[in-house]
Structure 1
Amino acid sequence: MNLAGSLIGCGPLLRFALRRDRTMLACWIYGLLASVIGTAVSFRKLYPDAASREQLAASINDNGSLRALYGAVYDTGSIGALTAWRILGIGGLMLGLLCVLLVTRHTRAEEESGRLELLGAGAVGRGAPLAAGIGAALTASAVVGAITAAFLAGSGEQLNGSLAFGAALFGCGACFAGVAAVAAQLTETGRAANGIGGAVLGLAFLLRAAGDAAGNGGPGWLVWLSPLGWAERVRPYDENAWWLVALLLLAGAVQTGIGYWLAGRRDLGGGLLPQRPGPPAAGSTLRSALGLAWRLQRGSLIGWSVGFAIGGALLGGISKGVDQLVSSSANVEQIVQRMGGSSQVTNAYLATSMNLLAMVAAVYAVQSALRLRGEETSGRAEPVLASGVRRLAWAGGHLLHPLLGSAVLLLVGGLTAGLGAGVVFGDVPGWTGRLLVAGLVQLPAVWVFAAVTVALFGLLPQWTSAAWGVLGVLLFIAYLGPALNAGQWLLDLTPFTHIPKLPGAVFHAEPLLWLTLLSALLAGAGLAGLRRRDIG
């Protein structure tokens, strides 16, 4: 492939990609930056002196489970160093996920829909869509890294450390954008490409977690097999290891180059990995709208369930060591108890953990509800509805996934968290039962976000993607509001505030009934709107 000729039209495609994704990008960037800024502000309140920061570091570094979840604390000399410790692992993971989604969306997903074939028939080079996708990912990463560095430097933190922190985040984005560039050439569908990218992200997190948990007494070298481990070892405000930032950028550049090389050696619309042929005739499960929806959404539900199983086990497994961590600061203990609704630290921590799992389940609920809009805009809904399937039956088949799928996720998360807590406390049946209930009680709050998505889809379809904005704002309030001492009126805006904080708190059914009623009214309004508007 001639490189110069293949990039013809890259500029207009990049501008179009940024314009098309402006809402989604704004929500993601806002969420990532809010996490950085909120963490820095809360740490400044929670650990104002060197002694409190040293106590926190000892609590983390002496506990292998906490190191696996958060990483080791290397430097306690500044708030910036603590913020980098807390953010680089999870922030790099989330920024990497954003880049995988962006690159896949503007390459393989566009190719799958047939739009790239139309663009290729004009004055657009073969490599321009991939360059535009990579450009969109790098732009988002650069914005996050630059604002992070500017905020911390403007807050009085060391300039070199702030720049290294922002560059490490940018490097994570660039590295995983390269992963997506290769994945997009291997498969024939956007979902499969995202699956490969997500699997690489998951493996990177597990390698980093295993290496940090082992520390110096075991296979700590596993950290060096993970790009997230490289970002962690940059150690902003301490070593400022710029060579690791360069390694992240080099990995991204090499993978992007491989992606271009592979793109020139396959047919448009095809993938390098062979596709498994389907059966000659559709099975009985595909003879209904419900069966079709299950076929389309089952892979996503299975993947999310695996993630919840791992996350629940990690959160439950570290519950016995969390007392020392929380007790390292009276302010931290107060925040955890405020979020968890219990004066007992262990119960408050586990209630907070169930709350965090529910927030993640809300992301799944919105994603699965948005599948309705995706089926409509791709043109796949119209032939289904033309076959005699009623609109409400078609929509209902897909809406069972945010309704019941989120229940499955919370059951899995509660089960594994209960098993983890039961093992460390020596009471598996007791803790498993308590945390299963604590997980399921979060369902009405999760349903509210799915119902908002359905209401937007039915009444204002062009604004359906704004559901991500609603989710991001309310999750930000629920997650960081207690740490920032937000007013109760603000905390009351998010449905998670009204959920009984189990285990430990008194159970009240009234808020669950009101949230369920609100979800039913919003979803009902959306479905009523769907019956009356044009499809497409």
Structure 2
Amino acid sequence: MSTITRSPARRGTNAVATLWALELRRDRLQLPVWILGNAAMAGLAVTGVTQSYGTETDRSTLLATAIANPVILTFRGLPSGAGTAEFIGFLILPFLVMIAGFMSSFLAVRHTRAEEESGRAELVGATTASRGAALWATTLHGVIANVITALAITVAFTLAGLPLRGSMVAGLATGAAGLVFLGIALVGAQLFATARGANSLGVIAILVTFLISGVGNAIGTPNADLTRMESSPLAWFSPFGWAENVRPFADDAVGPLVLLLIAAAVAVLLAYVLLRQRDVGASLVAPRRGRAAARWSLRGPVTLVGRLTRGSIIAWAVGAFLTGALATSLASVVQSMGGSNPAIAAVLEAMSKSGDLQAGTVVIFFTVVGILASCCTVQIVARARQEEARGTVEPLWAASVGRRRWLASYLIIGAVAIVAVDGAAVLGSLVGLSRTGADLIQDVWIGAAGQAAVAAVFLTVTALVLVVIPRWTIGIGWTIVVLATIIGLFGPLFGLPDRLTQLSPFSQTPTLTATGVDGRGIIGILAAAVVALVLSVWLVRRRPLVTAG
């Protein structure tokens, strides 16, 4: 009787395919949201630019203003001309790359380090699967996701009427940059012992390289008519800079695309080499040892949650401080820009709901502060879900803490985080006002109060999701923030209907008008927060422990 044996290579290939199919099934809801959302943002950008900047004069004026003000250019793309297609690439390409980067980074960590942290990777390792099967399956998963992203963006731009070649190049630049951040996150999964640490590295890499590219573009060399900018060498140290120097719809350069693919391949190979240097569940960066005895402040669940989340709260607060400083520092610049171009003024007024461009600038920047505060609260509630999935919540529930105190501790720290982030933004705004002398202090306080209410909605709604459908807490929490941001912040620019933009809490914040404070939308915001708070606290009483991820 003969037996059929498979070669190790064949077994490894089958294991990778099986694991990839499992990852695809787990991400069957999340990936379509990321990909279709990115493509929709590309298509809406074409509509918005066509409606808001219909003439070459409008586009040239905005480009000249951005090039003349490095702070503005830092947070935009690389100017490549005043044509409609080139202008769209300038406005939207960095944000398409950023979305692809977040998608790829979270995907990489979710299927590698998070699997080891939960113990499921050890079960896979007990089979005939090779040690690197999970890494290669995740790499395949990320490559396919970014290829589909590139195709979706190409289709969106083409259907909107842009040239096919430029649309393909824009899609390829976005997907190739996403692969770079996939590789960086895979390296982080080998370095750090927790998914939180690996995700933090991925997010920091995205934000830091975004700023490096922005600064590199801002200190570059403009052409004579201020419609095109040549990046400085600094921008070439960032995947964002490589993607932007592809210059879709203008140069359609292939060289930076090759550079992106090479960097992605090197990062993935480095992750594999590092994987071979450690044990399953271990990390190359050793976790810091805790104290032998807890400090006196760690005597309850509230202080414990505060200790676990203080690092992320500080990071979001620093970002809010810088945003607040920009809000008041750039107000006069935006005022002069809008005064020289009625089309730009109309867009800014639509985004801010204010007739005063300086006050409108504060409103727009404090919307960004609200987004930062909302992200901070979602991250805090997501931490509650991660602790539950690991099984560390069970001893608390079995002790005197109980379910309500456990949930309340995260809600209290979430509220503290909102105050910290908004307070940092106000402090930054005061620093900016001390330099410009503008009379915008009342607008600052109103903006801070309104965005605090918005962040409270996302805090309580995410807590409600944690109570009702805990397995979907992280996915739903981040999805509603992203959707609300796109609709509320970019809706007027994209020309979305007012009824749709009003669905976003960011569109309902109070503003200072000539007749007083328009706070009609704040009642609905506060009502939604209170309802979600009451339901979450009431329903958590009989909620079972759900440890599965």
TM-score normalised according to structure 2 size: 0.89
**2:414 aligned partner:** 402
Out of 19, 22, 27, the position equivalent to 1:16 is 22
1:260 aligns with 2:266: no
Distance 1:411 1:338, change over 3 A: same
Give the secondary structure class of the aligned counterpart of 2:140. Answer: helix
Tell me how far 1:162 sits from its aligned partner: 0.9
**1:285 aligned partner:** 297
Contact persistence 1:59–1:328 (CA under 8 A): no
Distance 1:62 1:509, change over 3 A: closer
Out of 30, 36, 41, the position equivalent to 2:42 is 36
Cα deviation 1:92-121 (Å, max 9, x = unaligned): 123212211211111112111211111111
For 1:51 and 1:195, the matched residues in 2 are separated by 42
**Percent identity of equivalent pairs:** 29
Contact persistence 2:302–2:413 (CA under 8 A): no
Contact persistence 1:67–1:212 (CA under 8 A): yes
Partner amino acid for 1:184?
Answer: A
1:527 aligns with 2:537: yes
Out of 462, 484, 494, the position equivalent to 2:504 is 494
Give the secondary structure class of the aligned counterpart of 1:277. Answer: coil
1:93 aligns with 2:102: no
Cα deviation 1:403-443 (Å, max 9, x = unaligned): 221222122223324423542x235xx54564244223221
1:145 aligns with 2:150: yes
**1:51 aligned partner:** 57
For 2:527 and 2:187, the matched residues in 1 are separated by 46
Give the secondary structure class of the aligned counterpart of 2:219. Answer: helix
1:457 aligns with 2:466: yes
Q: How does 1:97-496 map to 2 (within 5 A)?
A: 97-216=102-221, 220-327=232-339, 329-423=341-435, 425-427=436-438, 430-431=439-440, 434-464=443-473, 465-496=475-506
Greater shift after overlay, 306-315 or 198-207? 306-315
For 1:26 and 1:252, the matched residues in 2 are separated by 23
Contact persistence 2:378–2:462 (CA under 8 A): yes
Contact persistence 2:447–2:509 (CA under 8 A): no
Distance 1:4 1:80, change over 3 A: farther
Give the secondary structure class of the aligned counterpart of 1:507. Answer: strand
Distance 1:396 1:310, change over 3 A: same
For 2:40 and 2:526, the matched residues in 1 are separated by 29
Out of 61, 64, 80, the position equivalent to 2:70 is 64
Contact persistence 1:109–1:189 (CA under 8 A): yes
Partner amino acid for 1:525?
Answer: L
For 1:182 and 1:461, the matched residues in 2 are separated by 29
**2:4 aligned partner:** none
For 2:192 and 2:163, the matched residues in 1 are separated by 45
Cα deviation 1:196-243 (Å, max 9, x = unaligned): 222222321222122122123999211111111111111111111111
Contact persistence 1:348–1:504 (CA under 8 A): no
Cα deviation 1:51-93 (Å, max 9, x = unaligned): 322222222222222221213411222x322221112223212
Distance 1:480 1:206, change over 3 A: closer
Distance 1:436 1:130, change over 3 A: farther
For 1:170 and 1:260, the matched residues in 2 are separated by 21
Question: Gaps spanning 5+ residues in structure 2: where?
Answer: 1-7, 223-229
- How many residues in Structure 1 have an aligned counterpart in Structure 2? 531
Tell me how far 1:470 sits from its aligned partner: 3.5
For 1:305 and 1:187, the matched residues in 2 are separated by 24
TM-score normalised according to structure 1 size: 0.91
For 1:183 and 1:164, the matched residues in 2 are separated by 29
Distance 1:480 1:196, change over 3 A: closer
Contact persistence 1:422–1:432 (CA under 8 A): no
Tell me how far 1:314 sits from its aligned partner: 3.8
Distance 1:307 1:131, change over 3 A: farther
Give the secondary structure class of the aligned counterpart of 1:441. Answer: helix
Partner amino acid for 1:48?
Answer: G
For 1:70 and 1:504, the matched residues in 2 are separated by 32
Give the secondary structure class of the aligned counterpart of 1:285. Answer: coil
Cα deviation 1:266-286 (Å, max 9, x = unaligned): 111111123322212233333
Distance 1:9 1:414, change over 3 A: farther
Partner amino acid for 2:297?
Answer: T
Partner amino acid for 1:137?
Answer: G
Tell me how far 1:23 sits from its aligned partner: 3.1
**1:25 aligned partner:** 31
Cα deviation 1:11-61 (Å, max 9, x = unaligned): 222222232233333333343223222211100111223332222222222
Distance 1:467 1:280, change over 3 A: closer
Out of 504, 520, 528, the position equivalent to 1:518 is 528
Contact persistence 1:449–1:471 (CA under 8 A): yes
For 2:40 and 2:178, the matched residues in 1 are separated by 17
Cα deviation 1:385-412 (Å, max 9, x = unaligned): 1122111111111112332212221222
For 1:158 and 1:281, the matched residues in 2 are separated by 65
For 2:56 and 2:317, the matched residues in 1 are separated by 41
Partner amino acid for 1:452?
Answer: V
For 1:8 and 1:186, the matched residues in 2 are separated by 27
Give the secondary structure class of the aligned counterpart of 1:236. Answer: coil
For 1:366 and 1:505, the matched residues in 2 are separated by 36
Distance 1:231 1:504, change over 3 A: farther
Distance 1:237 1:490, change over 3 A: closer
Distance 1:156 1:259, change over 3 A: same
Distance 1:469 1:288, change over 3 A: same
Greater shift after overlay, 221-230 or 129-138? 129-138
CA-atom RMSD in angstroms: 2.6
Distance 1:82 1:509, change over 3 A: closer
For 1:42 and 1:88, the matched residues in 2 are separated by 14
Greater shift after overlay, 287-296 or 370-379? 370-379
For 2:335 and 2:51, the matched residues in 1 are separated by 20
For 1:418 and 1:5, the matched residues in 2 are separated by 63
Partner amino acid for 2:19?
Answer: L
For 2:291 and 2:13, the matched residues in 1 are separated by 39
Question: Gaps spanning 5+ residues in structure 1: where?
Answer: none
For 2:233 and 2:27, the matched residues in 1 are separated by 38
